[in-house]
Amino acid sequence: MSTATAALSKPRIKRNDRVKVIAGKDKGSEGRVLRVLPDAGRAIVEGINFTKKHTKPNPQRQVKGGILEKEAAIRIENLQVICSDCGRPSRIGRKRLEDGTGVRYCKHCNAILG
């Protein structure tokens, strides 16, 4: 899937999902999704993909100067959701239940993800 179509499709991860990084400099690390940016096809994950930002001191806003480290966005294609039942990173599918609600499920153990 190209990046243009990946950004337009609905992301399969949501806020507060536990995810594992499957590609990039942080490959193998796990974290919790803080924010999803569906238009950009990216997500911000807790404790992953830190960048450094140099800030000037601003006494009016009580901001100290220096180098801040903060999480940057990572591409959604490089993340895999960790199933809460089987505990493994797995692919996510979508299905519709009998009552008409759509849910996400783990393709390993068929458990419904919250």
* Whether residue 105 is found in the same domain as residue 73: no
| Alpha carbon distance 25, 19 (integer Å) | 15
Given this model, what pLDDT does residue 9 score? 73
| pLDDT score recorded for residue 91 | 92
Residues 52 and 94 in one domain: no
> How far is residue 49's CA from residue 26's CA, in Å, rounded to a whole number?
7
* 100 and 45 co-located in one domain: no
Do 77 and 52 belong together in one domain?
A: yes
Instruction: Give the count of domains, the chain.
Output: 2
- pTM recorded for the entire structure: 0.80
95 and 54 within one domain = no
What is the residue-level pLDDT of the chain in tens, covering all 114 positions?
A: 555 555 467 788 999 999 999 999 999 999 999 999 999 999 999 999 999 999 999 999 998 999 999 999 999 999 999 999 999 999 999 999 999 899 999 999 999 987
> 35 and 77 share a domain?
yes
